Structure 1
Amino acid sequence: MSRLLAAQPDPAAVEALLAKEAIPSALLLELQFASVTARISDWQGYVVDGNGVTWAGLGELVGISDLEGGSDNLAPLREYILGIPWELLDKESTPTQIQSRIPALIGAPSEYRGRSANLSFQLFDPDLTDQFGRPLPVGVPVALDAGLMTNVSWSLAPGAGGVITTLRVEGVLARKGSPQYGLLTDRDQKRRYGDDEGLEFVPEVMSTNVNWTDW
């Protein structure tokens, strides 16, 4: 059994769903701001996942960059493209007036910088719907990515598309101001393991010729 199925409360139901020709799924992005946790999706309208949690729609999650990682890329940078619809702005506002409102819509850096952003996806059964005509979820959300929010930029969308914000998220293994893997020095070793004294004498022995004994 795959890890995806093993983590589901009803693996058989998820496996049967995956055997269908086409199934809907939703991307779910949880942003843990300092004042509130925002849960948004890439669907139009609200989404209820398999845990009963509601995620806002309205196309607020417009797109994401490629998810990368692995042994050669321990601290990848992702970008989440978020839309701010014109309904939250004034359609009669001039670009200058809109620009003055952007910081208030994005929030202060203390609201997001260094805080968690978690991406997952939820599968739905196209043949079963609730009273509102929405497909019912099957299983629980599957985690795709976890990281820390770093900074936000914005731009005006063409036409009446509103404002597009780009949220940058770094992997949880990112260490600002430090080499990606560290150096084999006493200072870096003590930063990793505070009581390790194994590299204290490295500078002294670097130019020392070792005379191996003949056992």
Structure 2
Amino acid sequence: MGFFPETIAAKLAGRTVAASLLVHMDFRETPRRFWFGFGDLEAGGYTWQGTGELIQVEGLESPIGTVAPKATFSLSGIDAGIVTLARQASDRVKDRRATVYIQFFDVTPDDASVQPWSLLDDPFAISSWLMDQMTYSAQGPSLRSISLTAESLWTNRRRPASGLLTDRDQNKRFPSDRGLEQVVDLISKTIRWPVY
């Protein structure tokens, strides 16, 4: 069975198919789920809060070559609860997962047999990020916004899984460093202490 069988069947039948992004932000203690539409959406066994045009995502791209991209999630017109979350974000956001999904809908106009914006298939994860920093701004009681930067899962791929105490590993990290060049001579060496 391939991906998106309902979506493919609807498209092959000449129906109009639309898509929307869904974002799950796994904040510590208060995870949130958003979608780029209006009202609540029941999809994949969860309720996604509609944000309409109030949310923006920049930098959704696949890592290519040696570059680990960053994404920025911006949400404006938010309630005071999310601003409170942003103020206490340092321990609730850092290195927590943010996952972006795609959800397909059947939006065939003027068809009585299809409910408007009927779900096709389950949400499908298209990218995963590690949340980094959340900032907020408020201009009066009604103009509030937050911005959340997230790093690719590949951000720390150049960090050695377990750095070895060898001259070769040390020189890879710090060229011309001689701090560990004598380590090989210490293997199975007996050192007498104290020497009188």
Tell whether the structures are fold-level matches, with TM greater than 0.5: yes
What is the deviation of 1:62? 1.3
- Give RMSD over aligned pairs: 3.3
- Aligned AA (1:31): M
Give 1:1-215 correspondences, 5 Å limit. Answer: 6-8=2-4, 11=5, 13-19=6-12, 20=14, 22-49=16-43, 51-59=44-52, 62-85=55-78, 88-89=79-80, 104-108=84-88, 109-127=90-108, 128-129=114-115, 135-156=117-138, 162-175=143-156, 181=158, 191-193=160-162, 199=168
Normalised by the length of structure 1, the TM-score is 0.63
- Aligned AA (2:121): G
Unaligned runs of 5+ in 1: 90-100, 183-190, 205-215
- Aligned AA (1:192): A
- Give SS of 2:95's match: coil
Residues paired across the two proteins, number: 166
What is the deviation of 1:105? 4.1
What is the deviation of 1:117? 0.2
- Aligned AA (1:79): T
Matched-pair contact (CA < 8 Å) for 1:60–1:82? no
- Aligned AA (1:46): D
- Aligned AA (1:78): A
2:191 maps to what in 1? none
Normalised by the length of structure 2, the TM-score is 0.69
Q: Name the % identity.
A: 21
* CA distance in 2 between partners of 1:60 and 1:110 (Å): 28
Matched-pair contact (CA < 8 Å) for 1:59–1:83? no
* CA distance in 1 between partners of 2:32 and 2:23 (Å): 8
Unaligned runs of 5+ in 2: 109-113, 179-196
1:92 maps to what in 2? none
Matched-pair contact (CA < 8 Å) for 1:48–1:137? no
